[in-house]
Amino acid sequence: MVSSGIRNPPERTIKGVLMYPPKGQHWKYTQVKIDQMEKDGRIRILADRSYIDIMGNRVYGVPEFLQSEDVPVDNSWTDLKGYNFNSTYPTENPEELLERVVMSASNEGDLVMDFFAGSGSLAAVAEKLNRKWIVCDIGKLSLYTMQKRMLNIERSKSFENPKKNYKKTARSFQTVNTGHYDLEKIFKLEQEEYGKFVMNLFEVEPKNKTIGGIRINGERKDGYNVIIWEYWKFKDAAVDEEYLHDLHSYLGNKAGRRIYIIAPASYVGFISDYYEIDKVRYYFLKVPYQVIRELHKVQFKKFRQPQSKNNVNDLEDAVGFHFMRQPEVKSSISVNNKDVQVTIKKFLSDFAEDETGQDIENFESLSMVLVDKDFNGNEFDMDEYYFADDLLPKKKKKDDDEEVKSNLKEELKHSKEIKLPAIPKKECGKRMMLIYVDVYGNEFKEEFKVK
């Protein structure tokens, strides 16, 4: 650390190297003090930084003096690191920084919040410091990074002894997608109005027909049949395995290879977006909270999820996620002795057009693919994520961001198929869960068995 003005002698030996201070400045501490700080492990060299010293030479490696318990912290927190890279989220703040913020501004049991939470450092710190926490973020990568971080907090560093792990599991917490709550309000809608509305929402053409004794409410644009699950008739029931097997006993394959079921999101007992029985896939169209807004004719701006790590921090003037409209995904998995390979053949947003009215073509709207390599059947614990950009054959990037975006769109459009990097089989459990996210934040979740 330096202060302005010149002192004599100017040089100090820091970590065995004779160093002159930066131009116009002097080292803040005496040699005796520096030697002591070195012994206490309170000096580090920031290898990626440089400065011009008073002799006019460029010096690579800037010494940093860390403050200690007995030195009061001043306004300049240069004793703490900038970004961290533990969670692989691009803008992760170090826990030490947030520890200081939380300790200085709250007491145990208080509620702390971060509305731009990124990798969720605040949640992790609050949990360890016994505070309640709420963290929000508009990015899907952030959401699953935070969830992972809290699910695995016991393996992160303890504040009491940074050489040891925290070891405690997190207290129960809930991940809420703001598109999926406050169903009470939906329930207050009249049944007929609800039916009309959700059919509009998912672009279903109303039809009144019966197959195998089951009432079919409409058809999707791809011709497949749609059933509106009449939640008001089932008090304690849900769209679960029992319901689907019962339904299948009537329908068999008489109603096609694909049936869509519209139901309030919290009544659907599957994380996956479809469930397969005898080669018939039952897809779930989950009704989110935003339908209320839609009823009031509030126009949503479609918020765009990034397609490249470089754009993770783009701020958008968005109202929120558009309601869940699963993209259409066709993918397959192949497993050999060594690797697991996922190939995506089709990725189409449920929106036929983008904001400018142009057709959205195959792969064009892919934002990212998230992978849980050993899915436990309950929580998605993300192990890998790939932005669309990472999944294209490597190319030279232009400096201009806009240019990269438009090239990316073209390249995606012209891809015949997209392969995820091969995943070593030994890293996979019996089941894998993949979440495919489109640029509007809509997800398609798919579970694979790794045989």
Q: Which stretch binds ligand SAM (CB under 6 A): 48-56, 85-93, 215-223, 232-240?
A: 85-93
Could you tell me the smallest distance in angstroms from the CB atom of residue 156 to ligand SAM? 14
In whole angstroms, give the CA distance from residue 439 to residue 314: 13
446 strand-pairing partners: 434
Q: Is 122 in the site for ligand SAM (CB under 6 A)?
A: yes
Q: State which of residues 20, 29, 43, 92 lies at the interface with ligand SAM (CB under 6 A).
A: 92
Q: Single out the residue of 36, 91, 191, 249 in contact with ligand SAM (rule: CB under 6 A).
A: 91
Interior/surface letters 53-71, b for 16+ CB within 10 angstroms, e for the rest? beeeeebebbbebeeeeee
Return the number of the residue (152 or 272) whose C-beta is nearest ligand SAM.
152
Applying CB under 6 A, does 118 fall inside the site for ligand SAM?
Answer: yes
Q: Which residue is nearest to ligand SAM (CB)?
A: 118
- Among the residue ranges 89-97, 162-170, 199-207, 219-227, the one whose residues contact ligand SAM (CB under 6 A): 89-97
Q: Give the DSSP H or E segment for 248.
A: helix 241-251
Q: Does the footprint of ligand SAM cover residue 87 (CB under 6 A)?
A: no
8 A C-beta contact, residue 419 and residue 342: yes
Using CB under 6 A as the binding rule, whether residue 119 contacts ligand SAM is answered as yes
CA 304-264-147 angle, to 5 degrees, is 55
Question: Which of residues 43, 117, 226, 420 is near ligand SAM by CB under 6 A?
Answer: 117
Q: Is 116 among the residues that bind ligand SAM (CB under 6 A)?
A: yes
Structure tokens at 254: 């008489």
CA-wise closest residue to 272 among 335, 217, 331? 331
- By CB under 6 A, residue 367 contacts ligand SAM: no
For 281-347, the DSSP string reads EEEEEEE-THHHHHHTTPPPPPPPPPSSGGGTT------SPPP--PPEEEEEEEE-SSEEEEEEEEE
Number of residues that bind ligand SAM (CB under 6 A): 19
Minimum distance from residue 318 beta carbon to ligand SAM (Å): 6
Smallest distance from ligand SAM to CB 192, Å: 36
**Using CB under 6 A, which of 25, 121, 147, 362 touches ligand SAM?**
121
Those residues whose C-beta lies under 8 Å from the C-beta of residue 14, and which sit 6 or more positions away, are 27, 34, 38, 43, 45, 63
Query: What string of DSSP letters covers 160-229?
Result: S-TTSB--PPPPP-----GGG--HHHHHTS-HHHHHHHHHHHTT-EEEEEEETTEEEEEE-TTS-EEEE-
Query: By three-state DSSP, how is residue 245 classified?
Result: helix
Residue burial 409-427, b: 16+ Cβ < 10 Å; e: rest: bebbeebeebebeebeeee
- Closer residue to ligand SAM, CB minimum distance, 110 or 328: 110
Residues between 128 and 147 with contacts to ligand SAM, criterion CB under 6 A: 136-139, 142
Sign, CA torsion 69/71/75/77? negative
Scan residues 303-332 and list those touching ligand SAM (CB under 6 A).
313, 315, 318
By beta-carbon proximity to ligand SAM, the closer residue of 199 and 437 is 437
Our finding on whether 14 is near ligand SAM (CB under 6 A) is no
Q: Does 300 bind ligand SAM (CB under 6 A)?
A: no
Min separation Cβ 319 and ligand SAM, Å: 9
Q: Which two tokens stand for residue 103?
A: 């300790």
- Told to check if 123 binds ligand SAM by CB under 6 A, we report no
Distance, CA of 30 to CA of 106 (rounded, Å): 36
Nearer to ligand SAM, 114 or 273 (CB): 114
Nearer to ligand SAM, 113 or 422 (CB): 113
Which 380-409 residues touch ligand SAM, going by CB under 6 A? none
For ligand SAM, give the closer residue by CB, 114 or 443: 114
| Binding region for ligand SAM (CB under 6 A) | 91-93, 114-119, 121-122, 136-139, 142, 313, 315, 318
